[in-house]
Amino acid sequence: MNPEIRVAVIGGAGFTGGEMLRLLLTHPGVGLLAAHSRSHAGEPVDAVHRDLLGETDMKFTGSYPIDVDLWMLCLGPGESRQLLESMEVPEPIRIIDLSQDFRLGEKAGSRKFTYGLPEFQREAIREASNIANPGCFATSIEVSLLPLAKAGLLREVHVSGITGSTGAGQKQQDTTQFNWRANNINAYKALAHQHVPEILRTLSILQPGFKGPLQFVPFRGSFTRGIFVTSYLGCGLNAEEAIKLYRDYYADHPFVHISDRMVDIKQVVNTNRILLYLEKTGDQLVIHGVEDNLIKGACGQAVQNMNLMFGFPETEGLRLKSVMF
């Protein structure tokens, strides 16, 4: 039995901070948990995350806990880098960063970050001290394409994807308000989404020489959480060969499953799973993938990485049930 570890959630008041606290409060390997927030220091955690009433009596701290084993950084773009460059974090503290600050191999002082997609490089994560957690769209798109990259079969890829309002963060925006989102949909950052560089970087490691193009059009959807992506590309494999390729690749990965029928978001909301459905139309291989953007697309994947780093079973604390109704 591994000893319990001490974890601090830095930036614990936002969507990802709240989801991280929910997961870690019931994780059997976490013995001490601290929640940091500059804007809510001194307030009860359940005053911000009201669903945690009765689950914890923690209060947010405005100081950065250093008597811990791990920092989970749930901060906005640029804030993780600024924090790590502005203070000297004791070397024994490991870091899992959920922002986009270190996903392309960037460093913070002497700290090198390992890209934290277990289905891509599980063994490297086990040996890492600092993890750059992948982006939500990046996770579902990469998992949709990793087996093809491993087999050297990638060519020009087209992807469309839709995400719920929690994908935009907790800060109020016109496009996150209910009266805008309800019964509505629109595209944004077409062919210029910030996750494309990390996707191309990952795929090119598995398939050296692959530089794309990967044409991605994301959409905002009229729902709260979840991601649905559809990727398609020319491929010489027939449907049966492609399905076998995917099932072989993911045979020992507990959170990725190949479905025999079309998938939908409700199957994965509140879980750490990604479900894939493959179909062949003419010479085009089509891969549909679904995930929960706040769990496998963020906090659940971070906990999965934590499990690997600290020697817990990979699925520890992540046996979660979907909410179908």
Q: What is the pLDDT of residues 243-296, one digit of tens each?
A: 999 999 999 999 999 999 999 999 999 999 999 999 999 999 999 999 999 999
- In a domain, residue 314? The reply is no
Q: How many CA atoms lie within 13 A of 283 on its CB side?
A: 4
Q: What are phi and psi of 61, to 5 degrees?
A: -110, 145
| Residue 192 lies inside a defined structural domain of this protein | yes
Q: Is residue 124 part of a domain?
A: no
Q: Is residue 27 part of a domain?
A: yes
- What pLDDT was estimated at residue 215? 98
d(CA 59, CA 47): 9
146 shares its domain with 249: yes
| Mean pLDDT, the chain, integer | 95
H or E segment at 278?
A: strand 274-281
19 with 162, same domain?
no
pLDDT value of residue 175: 75
Exactly one of 74, 136, 235, 299 is catalytic; name it. 136
Same-domain status, 171 and 279:
yes
Residue 231's DSSP bridge partners are: 159, 287
Supply the pLDDT for residue 324: 83
Same domain, yes or no: 150 and 283: yes
Q: Could you give the CA distance from residue 133 to residue 210 in angstroms, rounded to a whole number?
A: 23
User: Are 168 and 286 found together in one domain?
Assistant: yes
Reference 232, options 245, 224, 242; nearest CA is 242
Evaluate if residue 62 carries a pLDDT over 80.
yes
pLDDT digits (tens, 9 = 90+) for 191-200: 999 999 999 9
Per residue in 82-102, pLDDT (tens digit) is 999 999 999 999 999 999 999
pLDDT for 53 equals: 97
pLDDT given at position 178: 80
Q: Strands 227-234 and 107-108: what pairing?
A: unpaired
286 and 158 share one domain: yes
Residue 172 lies in a domain: yes
Q: Is the pLDDT of residue 56 over 70?
A: yes
Q: Which of 206, 194, 204 shows the shortest CA–CA distance to 168?
A: 194
pLDDT tens for 2-39 read 789 999 999 999 999 999 999 999 999 999 899 999 99
* Residue ending a domain, choose from 77, 112, 147: 112
Domain containing 218 — which CATH number? 3.30.360.10
Q: How far is CA 244 from CA 142, 198, 237, 248, in A?
A: 18, 27, 10, 6
Give the integer Cα–Cα distance in Å for 249 and 75: 33
Residues 222, 265: contact at Cβ < 8 Å?
Answer: no
Q: CA-CA distances (angstroms) from residue 265 to 239, 288, 294, 325?
A: 23, 11, 13, 12
Question: Quick check: is 136 catalytic?
Answer: yes
Q: Residue 209, class by beta-carbon neighbours within 10 Å (0-12 exposed, 13-18 middle, 19+ buried)?
A: exposed
278: its two tokens: 């493959």
210 in any annotated domain:
yes
Per-residue pLDDT at 181: 82
Report how many domains make up the chain.
Answer: 2
Average of per-residue pLDDT across 53-66: 96
Q: Based on the domain organization, do 278 and 144 belong to the same domain? A: yes
Residue 298, in any domain of the structure: no
| Burial degree of 64 (CB within 10 A; 0-12, 13-18, 19+) | middle
H or E stretch at 295: none
Segments in the chain forming alpha helices (H): 15-25, 45-48, 79-86, 118-126, 136-150, 178-181, 196-206, 239-249, 300-310
Q: Is pLDDT of 220 > 90?
A: yes
pLDDT for 171: 60
Q: Which DSSP letter does residue 190 get?
A: T
Confidence of residue 323 (pLDDT cuts 50, 70, 90): confident
pTM value is 0.95
Q: Does residue 12 share a domain with residue 60?
A: yes
* pLDDT on residue 168: 61
* Same-domain status, 106 and 35: yes
What CATH code is carried by the domain that includes residue 35? Answer: 3.40.50.720
Does residue 173 carry a pLDDT above 80?
no
Question: Mean pLDDT, to the nearest integer, of 110-132?
Answer: 97
In this structure, the answer to whether residues 141 and 272 fall within a common structural domain is: yes
Residue 125 contacts residue 305 (beta carbons within 8 Å): yes
Look at residue 170 and tell me whether its pLDDT is greater than 70.
no
Q: What percent of the chain has pLDDT over 90?
A: 92
Q: Are residues 231 and 264 in the same domain?
A: yes
Shared domain for 46 and 158, answered yes or no, is: no
Q: What is the mean pLDDT of residues 46-58?
A: 96
Asked, for residue 307, whether it belongs to a domain, the answer is no
CB 48 within 8 A of CB 32: no
Q: Is the pLDDT reported for residue 218 higher than 80?
A: yes
Task: Name, in order, each residue with C-beta under 8 angstroms of 115's C-beta and a sequence gap of 6 or more.
Answer: 103, 105, 121, 131, 132, 134, 198, 201, 202
**Which domain covers residue 173, as residue numbers?**
136-293
